Amino acid sequence: MSLGDEHGSSGGYADTGQTRTRLPESDPYGGARRGGRSSSRSLVTVVGVVVLLIAAIAFANRGDDSPAGGSTSDKPATSATAATGEKPVQPKSGGIPTGFAHSEAGAQSAAANYSVALVSADILKPANRTAIVKQVFVTDQQATLEDRLNAAYSKEFLSNIGLDPNGNPTKGQTYVSRTVPIGTKATSYSDTAATLEVWCTGLYGTAGANSANPVTSDWFTMTLQLRWTDNDWKVDSFSQKDGPTPVPGDNKASSADEMAKAVEEYGGFTYAR
């Protein structure tokens, strides 16, 4: 759930396609579908595939024959989305990873994980909100932000989305707010501060019989200003905007019961670069 949709506004914080192609049953140009290949051509094709597989296995299993200290300039460069190999995080604290690497990759990992926490069902619960704020934000911003979040997620707001004052849905229903980072980008970086953009998709709504707020999806981008403090990356401020949004697919919507079961059975991820 993007903060701009259901969570409303809380000042500067909580303003804070791909189309499948199906093969036609007949030639799209009016002719009949082509028949199968001849048996001789099929045999040649099978033999060729087997030879290629054997060669691929042999190549994968061979050792690194390059001399120690040899040049690696002929090796392909890692892509922008490849893992860096750095240990991403320390054990979780309150369900949120900590101990991010003091690097640009570490800052991107922190931003991705913090986006998940900031747009979650837990932050709607007063009992969990304080702990999330203390874990995610720099010390000198915690009090101000918690006040803004408390005002944004008021009893009236929670009631409007079908939750009680403690952020819980009615019996038999499951409230969903789950964020999935698609990618991250550092727009500025130094050893003490970084600005990151996190492109996200997510689910939000209430799953269950007779829900007036069914689970739907959205796409949004969060911008987080991070600060290096107490040997970790923490959020100094954040904002959010809609999109980029792909063309909707043609998937059939699941039932409310199927959605509730999926949310209960499938856990979330720790996101790292």
pLDDT in tens, 233-260: 999 999 999 999 999 888 888 888 888 8
Domains in the chain with CATH codes: 90-242+254-265 (3.10.450.230)
If one counts every other C-beta atom within 10 angstroms of the C-beta of residue 98, the result is 18
Tell me which residue of 236, 11, 239, 13 sits closest to 140, measured CA to CA.
236
Pairing of strands 96-98, 232-242: unpaired
Residue 198 has pLDDT above 80, yes or no: yes
| pTM for this entry | 0.69
Reported in sequence order, the residue ranges of the chain that DSSP labels E, i.e. its strands, are: 90-93, 96-98, 174-189, 193-207, 216-229, 232-242
Between the ranges 55-59, 81-85, 177-181, where is the mean pLDDT highest?
177-181
Residue 22 has pLDDT above 50, yes or no: no
Residue 39 has pLDDT above 90, yes or no: no
If one counts every other C-beta atom within 10 angstroms of the C-beta of residue 107, the result is 26
Mean pLDDT of 199-228: 92
Please give the pLDDT value at position 48. 54
Please give the pLDDT value at position 79. 46
pLDDT in tens, 108-139: 999 999 999 999 999 999 999 999 999 999 99
Mean pLDDT of 34-63: 48
